[in-house]
Each structure stands twice: as structure tokens, then as C-alpha cells.
Amino acid sequence: MWLVCVDAYSQYPYVTQMKTTTTADTIMALSAIFAIEGLRETLVSDNGPQLTADLFKKFCAGNGIRHITSAPFHPASNGLAERFVRTFKAAMLKNIQDGLPISAALIKYLSTYRSVPNAAGKTPVQLLHGRTVRTLLSQTLPITHKQNESKQYDSPKFKPSQPVYFRNYSRGSKWVKGHIDRVLGKMMYVVDTPKERYEELPLAKSYPDVAIQKRLSGAERVVERSSNAAADPSTSLRELSVAEPLRRSERNRKPVDRFEAEDFRK
């Protein structure tokens, strides 16, 4: 089991091998990372039980960290970490198949990943620490860096107050209509849904030709309102109801056979 953390700006990864995934062990692993790189302003994670526990909430609140959980059933909202997990699994499997132990395979992968430049010619370690590091690759083939220091960020796809349809994973309709309330990130939004309003049902009206059907002794009888009742609209249907006789079962009833213990005094 591994705890994977990726810096959003530099894509610099941290991977910690975990014996257990309890909340306390997760906090200790994150504290070791924060001791090196400092406390983060925002932490985005999935909805794992150890990351949504009260102890973890207190840890984030006590260290001034804003904790955001990704949208359920939508791993793309935390796509940077999810994509790294996929790459990490494939690389670790390849290194282990080459005969390396797990610890050596992890070191080889991290040292390579952190030193590979991105599309802008910057390596994750250079973006995070502000300097290049000396590696075997830099000794054999020095990397030429581009002068473009600016980084282009993609704007969010949706804007506030924009009407959208979102996927509903609970009971009800599969797609629900709403509008964007706030933008949390490139792929994370707070969607406001209209509250359901139930219109009041119209009151029952009295009609002169209403007939009430009652079942008496298995036969249907129709009782029609009289002309006098039709002339008086205040007459309610309750007054026209017919008292139904109680119907009892005609089956043979046997007395209850209660258990009685034998008198031992005899």
C-alpha cells in the first residue's frame, strides 16, 4: 500500500509505503512530507475513510490547510494524482520484473520521474526547489531549458450561474438540472439545484351529480344526492355516507386450546 502525493504546480511526487492505512498513519506520512516542503495551502484528496475522518479534519484545521475532496464517482476531478498512480503502477511493475526489489524499484522510478523535463523544459524538482539537480542524465546529456518562464493554465470549462445537467448517483432522475454556484478548480464545481416545490392540491368541490359507491354485502349500491342536497352547496360528502354493517367471517371458530401444566400436587 502506498500513499501518493503530487505537487500541483511542479508535479513533484512523493510516495510513501504504508503498512496500514489508518488516519493516524496517514497523518504521520503527510507530516513527514510537510516537514520538508512546508505546510500546503490546499490539499485535494479522494473520499477515503481515513481522509474524511474527524481526526484528519482536525489535523488540517490545526495546520491551516484547506481540504477539498474530489467529486464522488468522478476520479478526473483529482486527475493529476490519479494519472500519476497509473504511471506509478506500470513503472513499478516493470522495475520489479527486471529483478529489482521494491525499495530499489521505487527509488529508481522517483529519481527518474523527478528529473524528466515537462513540455516547457522544466523538471519537477527545478520547479519546486528552484534549481536543477545533478543526475546521471544531466552528466551525459545536459538539458537545455527554454526561456519561457510563464505557465499557461487552462481556464475552467464552466462559469458561475451557467445552467448545466449533472449526474445523479442517488435515487431519482439520472440527470438533474442545476446551475454552477462556485468554481473550485479546473474540473471541480459547486452545483446549485432548485429546491423541489410542491403545488398545493385544489380543494375538493361539491358537485350536484356526484354519486358515492358503497359495497354492502358484496353488492354495489349507488346513493345519489337528492335535489335538496344539490341546492345546498355546503352539504359535504360525509353527510351522504351510508353506514355500512360490520361484516364478520362465517367460518367455524374453535375455542383456543391453551397449554395447562399438570398439577404436580395430585
Q: Name the residue with cell 359535504.
A: 236
Helix residue ranges per DSSP H, 7-78 = 23-37, 54-62
Q: What pLDDT shows up at residue 263?
A: 67
Q: How confident is the model at residue 134 (pLDDT cuts 50, 70, 90)?
A: confident
Q: What pLDDT shows up at residue 79?
A: 77
Helix residue ranges per DSSP H, 79-145 = 79-97, 102-113, 124-129, 136-140
Q: How confident is the model at residue 74 (pLDDT cuts 50, 70, 90)?
A: confident
Q: How confident is the model at residue 227 (pLDDT cuts 50, 70, 90)?
A: very low
pTM confidence score: 0.54
Domains with residue ranges and CATH for the chain: 2-113 (3.30.420.10), 163-192 (no CATH)
Quote the CA–CA distance of 146 and 87 in Å, as a whole number.
26
For the stretch 88-93, contacts whose Cβ atoms lie closer than 8 Å and that sit 24 or more positions apart, written own/partner, are 88/2, 88/4, 88/13, 88/15
Overall average pLDDT of the 92-101 stretch? 91
Tell me how many helices (H) and strands (E) the chain has.
7, 9
Phi-psi region of 198 (alpha: psi -120 to 50; beta: other; left: phi over 0): beta
Tell whether the model's pLDDT for residue 83 goes beyond 50.
yes
